[in-house]
Amino acid sequence: MKISLIVAKAENNVIGKDNQLIWRLSSDLKLFKKYTTGHHIIMGRKTYESMGKPLPNRTSIVISRNKDFEVPEGHFLAHSLEEAIQLGISRNLDQVFIIGGAQIYKEAIQFCDEMIITEVQAAPEGDAFFPEFDRKAWKIVHSEHFPKDDKNEYDFNFMIYKRIN
Ligand code: NDP
């Protein structure tokens, strides 16, 4: 099973503030939708709660230490990232997407085959960060520039990194 991580991060690695996203990037949301639709998406409990409900046309696997946390029918609760990944394997999935947040990304980089990173050309204030990673362990296989416009607050680069070894 291929394990992909998908994130939008700023130049200072900020990914969120007060449990919210901090930018309006319509083209990035479209890319997120294009890549994840039809798939299982793994996320931390805080990211799940910040969305309020499962995203349409995707199966959520929510990670929480709380054994009683409730997710709607057709979605899943896991108590560790390993358990979430095992769930994907046991369901014979071809691919899963790890969609955040900061705590989950920190653990997830070691497990990922691919990182889909929207590199937002801004350095806003925030309280949730994407971790630094060893760039030598990854190669860029796709790079595309999106200029800012009335629906996209900042310029961004849409990048795909593949693990080298
Ligand atoms: P997370 O979404 O990573 O969720 C954290 C929670 O996940 C913990 O409180 C815990 O839940 C559970 N958890 C984490 N690690 C483990 C573990 N090893 N075992 C079991 N459960 C675990 O929260 P963050 O605060 O780190 O990130 C949220 C922020 O990230 C928000 O600002 C959000 O908007 C942003 N974000 C940004 C994205 C982007 O692409 N820019 C994408 C996704 C989120 P519990 O407390 O219930 O036990």
- Coil, strand or helix at 161: strand
CA 83 from centre of chain: 17
Per the CB < 8 A criterion, the answer to whether 98 and 7 are in contact is no
**ipTM of predicted complex:** 0.99
Per the CB < 8 A criterion, the answer to whether 44 and 103 are in contact is yes
Q: Whose CA is nearest to atom 27 of ligand 1?
A: 101
Q: Tell me: the pLDDT tens digits for 28-58?
A: 999 999 999 999 999 999 999 999 999 999 9
Distance CA 152, CA 109 (A): 27
Q: State residue 60's pLDDT score.
A: 98
Q: Whole-model pTM?
A: 0.98
**Fold of the domain built from segment(s) 2-163:** Dihydrofolate Reductase, subunit A (3.40.430)
Q: Tell me: the pLDDT tens digits for 101-138?
A: 999 999 999 999 999 999 999 999 999 999 999 999 99
Q: How confident is the model at residue 151 (pLDDT cuts 50, 70, 90)?
A: very high
Residue type, 27: S
Q: Whose CA is nearest to atom 19 of ligand 1?
A: 80
The dihedrals phi and psi of 82, each to the nearest 5 degrees, come to: -60, -45
Q: How confident is the model at residue 165 (pLDDT cuts 50, 70, 90)?
A: confident
Pocket test for ligand 1, best of 18, 25, 104, 118 (most atoms within 8 A of CB): 104
Q: State residue 35's pLDDT score.
A: 98
Asked if the model's pLDDT at residue 23 lies above 80, the reply is yes
- Say how many Å lie between the CA of residue 48 and the centre of ligand 1: 8
- Say how many Å lie between the CA of residue 122 and the centre of ligand 1: 22
Ligand 1 touching residue 126 (CB < 6 A): no
Per the CB < 8 A criterion, the answer to whether 14 and 125 are in contact is yes
* Sheet strands (E) in the chain: 2-10, 14-16, 40-44, 59-63, 76-78, 95-98, 114-120, 128-129, 138-146, 156-163
Ligand 1 touching residue 10 (CB < 6 A): no
Distance CA 165, CA 149 (A): 38
